[in-house]
Structure 1
Amino acid sequence: MTPVFPPARTPNPLDAPPLRWGVLAPGRIAAAFVTAVSRYTRQRVVAVGSRSLDRASAFAAEHGIDRAVGSYQELVDDPAVDVVYVASPHSEHAAQAGLAVAAGKHVLVEKAFTRNAAQARHLVAAARAAGVLAVEAMWTRFLTQTDVLARLLADGVLGEVTTVLADHGQHFAPDPQSRLFAPELAGGALLDLGIYPISFASFVLGAPDSVVATGSRTATGVDAQVSMTLSTGTAQACLNTTLLAATPTTASVSGTAGSVEITGPFYAPASMILTTADGRAVREPDPVAGHLGLCFEAAHVAQLIADGATESPLLPLDETVRILETVDEIRRQVGVRYPGE
Structure 2
Amino acid sequence: MENKTIKWGIIGLGKIANKFATDLATIENATLVAVASRSKENAIEFAAKHNATKAYGSYTDLVNDTAVDAIYIATPHSFHKEHTLLCLQHKKAVLCEKPFAMNLQEVEEMIAVAKENNVLLMEALWTFFLPHFNYVLELVKNEKFGKLKNLEADFGFFPVYDETSRVFKKEVGGGSLLDIGIYPIFAALSTLGKPNSINANAAFFKNGADAECTMVFNYNDAKATLKSTLLENTPTQAIFTFETAVVKVNTKFHEPSTVTIIKNNTEETIDFSYKTIGYNYETEHFNQLLREGKKESTIMTFDFSKTLIKTLDEVRVLIGLKY
Match of 1:43 in 2: 30
Query: What does 1:235-250 align with in structure 2 at a 5 Å threshold?
Result: 235-250=222-237
Distance 1:180 1:154 in 2: 35
Q: Percent identity?
A: 34
Match of 1:315 among 293, 300, 308: 300
Separation in 1, partners of 2:170, 2:164? 11
Instruction: Tell me if the contact between 2:129 and 2:282 (Cα under 8 Å) persists in the aligned partners.
Output: yes
1:197 deviates by 0.8
**In structure 2, what is the equivalent of residue 86 of structure 1?**
73
| Pairing 1:300-339 to 2, within 5 Å after superposition | 300-338=285-323
Structure 2 stretches lacking a partner, 5+ long: none
Compare relative contact order (CA 8 Å, sep 6+) and give the higher one, 1 or 2: 1
Between 307-316 and 293-302, report the one with greater CA deviation: 307-316
Alpha-carbon distance in 1 for matches of 2:159, 2:80: 23
Q: 1:69 to 1:263 in 2, by over 3 A?
A: same
Residue type of the partner of 1:301?
A: F
Shift of 1:257: 2.3
- Find the partner of 2:196 among 209, 219, 225: 209
State the secondary structure of the residue aligned to 2:167.
Answer: helix
**1:85–1:110 contact (8 Å) kept in structure 2:** yes
Return the alpha-carbon distance in structure 2 between the equivalents of residues 165 and 223 of structure 1.
20
Can you list the C-alpha shifts for 1:116-156, whole angstroms capped at 9, x where unaligned?
11111111111122221111111110111122122212211
Counterpart CA distance in 2 for 1:100 and 1:158 is 45
**Which amino acid is 1:211 matched to?**
I
Q: What corresponds to 2:207 in structure 1? A: 220
Q: Which moved more, 1:153-162 or 1:78-87?
A: 153-162
1:155 maps to amino acid: N
| Counterpart residue number, 1:12 | none
Matched positions, count: 322
From 288, 291, 296, give the equivalent of 2:281.
296
1:268 is displaced (CA, Å) by 0.9
- 1:300 is matched by which residue type in structure 2? H
Counterpart position of 2:102: 115
Letter in 1 for 2:160: A
Partner deviation per Cα, 1:196-233 (whole Å, 9 max, x = no partner): 11111111011122111001010000110100011222
TM-score (norm 1): 0.91
Aligned partners of 1:41 and 1:295 also within 8 Å: no
Letter in 1 for 2:35: V
SS at match of 2:26: helix
Which position in structure 2 is the counterpart of 1:131? Answer: 118
Q: Which residue of 2 aligns with 1:253?
A: 240
Distance 2:220 2:273 in 1: 34
Cα distance in 2 for partners of 1:220, 1:192 equals 16
Tell me which residue corresponds to 2:258. 271
Match of 2:163, as an amino acid?
Answer: P
Q: Are the aligned partners of 1:16 and 1:299 in contact in 2 as well (CA < 8 Å)?
A: no
Instruction: Indicate the larger mover: 35-44 or 208-217.
Output: 35-44
Matches of 2:114 and 2:300 in 1, distance apart? 15
For 1:158 and 1:201, how far apart are their aligned partners in 2? 18
- Cα gap change, 1:202/1:283 in structure 2, threshold over 3 Å: closer, same or farther? same
Aligned residue among 150, 174, 198 for 1:187: 174
Distance 2:129 2:198 in 1: 26
Deviation (angstroms), 1:16: 7.3
Q: CA deviation at 1:164?
A: 1.0
**One-letter amino acid matched to 1:112:** P
Q: Is the 8 A contact 1:20 1:43 kept in 2?
A: yes
Distance in 2 of aligned mates of 1:243 and 1:211 = 21
In the alignment, what sits opposite 2:21?
34
SS in 2 for 1:293: coil
Question: Does structure 2 retain, via aligned residues, the 8 Å contact 1:158–1:254?
Answer: no
Q: Deviations over 1:228-259 (max 9, x none)?
A: 01122211110000011111100021121222
- Cα distance between partner residues in 1 of 2:235 and 2:265: 27
The CA RMSD measured in Å over matched residues stands at 1.6
Q: Are the equivalent residues in 2 in contact too, given 1:158–1:276 (CA < 8 A)? A: no
Determine if contact 1:181/1:188 at 8 Å carries over to the other structure. Answer: yes
**Residue pair 1:22, 1:48 contacting (<8 A) in 2 also:** yes
